[in-house]
Chain A
Amino acid sequence: MKKLSTILLVAFLIALCVGECVAQSTSSASQTITFGVRRIVAPALAANFSHARQESESPTLNLSQQKVTVGSDIRSEELFVGARLSFAKKTRQQETINSGVGATESQSWLRSASPKSVITVTE
C-alpha cells in the first residue's frame, strides 16, 4: 500500500513537471471580431437590372413569389427593392408600387402615364 502511494506521488510529480513544461511553451492572445450584414439592394435584382441597362432587354426579376418585368427604356429611371419586397420607379414624379394586392392598378396607371417605361408586376 505504501509502495503504491509512493508510485502515485512520483507519477503526480512527473505529470506536474510535464504540465509545467507544456504550459510554458504556449501563449495566447484574443481578439473580438464584430460583424454584420445590411443589404440595400437585393442581389438578384441588382444583377438583372444592370444587365437590362446594358442590353436594353426586358429581364424578368424573381423576388420571392413575385415576378417583375422591366421595360426597355430605363435610362432615366432608378429601380430599387426595399425590405418588404416593394419597388419604386423614379421619374419626374416618384411613384411607389407595392408588389402585393394593388399591383394590377399600379401597372395600368404606369402604362398610360409613361409609354417609354413599362413595368409589369405579376404573381
Chain B
Amino acid sequence: MSGDFSYLGCSMKAKLLTLLLASLLLPILALAQVGSSVVQNLTVEVKPITKIAVSGNPGALYITDALAGAELSSVSDNNSKYSMVTNVENMKIVASINNEMPSGTKLMVRLESSRGLSNGFVDVSNARSPVEVVSGLGKGSDLNQTITYTFAADASVGSMSVDTRVVTLTLTN
C-alpha cells in the first residue's frame, strides 16, 4: 500500500512540477507572441468630376443661294461631336455665344444625348447668357454624341461676308 501511495505521491509531485514549469514558461511564450502594430488613418474622398470635350469645329456654314419662294434659307452641319463624363447626378449642358448673330440670321444647335434629354434645336443667336441644350444627365459618360448646327438667313438678308462666332458648351449642375 505504501508503495502505491509513494507512487501516487511521486505522480502528484511530477504533475505539480509540470504545472509549475508550464506556469513559468507561459509569460515567456506570451512575450514571444507580442508583435508590433501601428495605426494609420486614411482619408478617402471622391471629388465631383465633370468633363466635356468636343471633336473640333463644325464645317463652314455657307448659304449660297435662295430657294424659290423660301422665307428662310438654311444650311446644316453635323460633323462635330462631343463627349462628356461626370460622377454627379442631374447635370446639364448649356450653350452660349460670344457675340449675337447678325440681323436676319439664326444659329441653332442640337446636341444628341444617350444619357440625358436633348432639347432639340435651340436658338443660340442671341444666347450671350447660356441656354440649356441637354438636361437630366446622370452619373456616367456619353461618348461621341453628334452636334448639329443650323445657320439660317431670311429673305431680307443679302450677301454677307464670312464671319465667325464662338459657341461654348458647358457641362454644369
Size of the B side of the interface (Cβ < 8 Å), in residues, is 52
Within B53-112, the residues touching A (CB, 8 Å) are: 53-54, 56-58, 60-70, 73, 80, 82, 84, 88, 91, 105, 107
Q: Is the CB of B66 within 8 A of A46?
A: yes
Q: Is the CB of B57 within 8 A of A36?
A: no
Question: Which listed residue (A27, A38, A43) contacts B52, Cβ 8 A?
Answer: A27
Q: Is the CB of A28 within 8 A of B171?
A: yes
Cβ of A25 within 8 Å of any chain B Cβ, yes or no, is: yes
Chain A interface, DSSP helix/strand/loop, else mixed: mixed
Q: Is the CB of B61 within 8 A of A34?
A: yes
Q: Is the CB of B64 within 8 A of A26?
A: no
The answer to whether A36 and B60 touch (CB under 8 A), given A27-B51, A50-B68, is yes
Q: Residues of A at under 8 Å CB distance from B?
A: 21, 24-44, 46-47, 49-50, 83
Given A25-B48, A36-B162, 10 other A-B residues pairs in contact with their CB atoms under 8 A: A25-B172, A27-B171, A31-B54, A31-B58, A32-B57, A33-B165, A34-B61, A36-B61, A43-B155, A44-B155
In the A-B complex, the 6 residue pairs with the smallest Cβ-Cβ separation, listed nearest first, are: A37-B160, A36-B162, A47-B69, A43-B155, A34-B60, A35-B61
